[in-house]
Amino acid sequence: MAIIEVGLLVLAVLALAAVYLTMKVVKPLAYNAIVGLVLLAAVNFTGFVEVDITLFAVALVAVAGVPGVVLVVILSVVGVAFVPETAAVLVF
């Protein structure tokens, strides 16, 4: 084998190791984001708490996962953020 072939083989092995380690780290984060988004939809669907689902709320839940859902619900209940417009009109 030539030195170039050995170098390419080492480079390919390193690239595979990098992809494996990246997927190992990203997979739990993706699961947490999916569970958070499903939980946000379930909370809004049940009607116990009215949450205004905006792009910011979805992004927050997608990044933070289940703790993001808890934060969005708490902020909605307190009336600080993510309050639907109909609920805001009824309160004030």
Q: What is the pLDDT of residues 12-38, one digit of tens each?
A: 999 999 999 999 999 988 899 899 999
Quick one: DSSP state of residue 59?
H
User: How confident is the model over 31-65, as pLDDT tens digits?
Assistant: 998 999 999 999 989 888 888 888 999 999 989 99
User: Closest Cα to residue 53, out of 44, 63, 62?
Assistant: 44
* pTM (2 d.p.): 0.68
Buried b / exposed e over 21-30, threshold 16 CB at 10 Å, is eeeeeeeeee
The larger pLDDT score, comparing residue 1 to residue 44, is at 44
* pLDDT computed for residue 91 by the predictor: 52
